[in-house]
Structure 1
Amino acid sequence: MTPRPARPWHVPFLLTILWLHTRAEGEVSRPWLTDAQLMAQVTIRGWVRFLRDDKGMLGFIVRDGVRVHALYVHPRAQGMGIGRQLLRDAMEDSPRLELWTLQSNHMARAFYLAQGFRETVHTAGEGNDEGLPDVQLVWQKEGAA
């Protein structure tokens, strides 16, 4: 499986995966239409790559240059290396990646640290929509300045 660029007709499938995480866990309070508009925008900009199998979409990554905005894996595909594969694809395309996650998201932090990221900045949540403490993680290809 090779990550492929998402197209506008993939947006409903991308939203399904996003909402399985954010809506089910009560993380997001913004209207569903806002999510749909944002997903359509980043897809049209070419920032979204995804993996799928014969049963459907497995996961996706949203990346603008060095900035990873989102990485989600369908619950049925977790533990299969999908997130790692999406991230490796981004690492092959960029000498540096950076992202933010909530400090309380211990699973995400452990995942990114295991992929070679390091924590660089901790905040009290001043710069995120939720107003919750977050952490910036950065990965840099060996030998890249």
Structure 2
Amino acid sequence: MKTARGRLWHLPRLAMILWAFTRATPWLPRVRSHWDDLRALARVIRWGWVRVIREQGRVAGFLVRDGDILHALYVHPVLRGQGFGRALLAEAKAEAGVLRLWVVEANAAARAFYARQGFVEAARSAGLGNDEGLPDILMVWRGEGVSA
């Protein structure tokens, strides 16, 4: 599976993947408009923080990362469980000795995914790591030879 830098022409597909997740997640309050989401996605694309992965020529998922901070990882709902998220994460791991991310406590599937990928819980908060203000967990991955 090959990844590539996200480009502005990917924006409609990235938004569709993001919105499919938010529609399918009843515990997630809607705190941003679609326009706000589009502006935020366009901004991180321009900053070079977005990596995409394709399946049959279409974007299957994307990752947003700034240095060691993983801001987002989403895979199209019908393509989950096929290794796209793992591939995006493997590339990020290869480029960084440490990765940090905040995951909403209620997102058990994401927490389990990151734990399987070697992330461990480092801290908890009442919502400091997300726009929705939901209780969340800081998870950290450290590459081999990287000390705490």
TM over 0.5: yes
2:122 aligned counterpart, secondary structure: strand
2:75–2:84 Cα contact (<8 Å) kept: yes
TM-score, normalised relative to structure 2: 0.93
Which segment drifts farther, 122-131 or 71-80?
122-131
Equivalent in the alignment of 2:97: 95
**Count of residues paired in the alignment:** 145
1:74 Cα offset (Å): 0.3
Aligned residue among 88, 106, 109 for 2:111:
109
Alignment of 1:1-145 (within 5 A): 1-26=1-26, 27=28, 28-54=30-56, 56-145=58-147
Gaps of 5+ in 1: none
Gaps of 5+ in 2: none
Cα offsets for 1:4-44 (capped at 9, x unmatched): 00111111111010000013435223110000000000001
**Aligned-residue identity in percent:** 47
Please give the root-mean-square deviation of Cα atoms over the aligned residues, in Å: 1.3
TM-score, normalised relative to structure 1: 0.94
**Runs of 4+ with >4 A deviation:** none
Equivalent-residue separation in structure 1 for 2:36 and 2:16 (angstroms): 14
2:17–2:74 Cα contact (<8 Å) kept: yes
Equivalent-residue separation in structure 1 for 2:56 and 2:129 (angstroms): 39
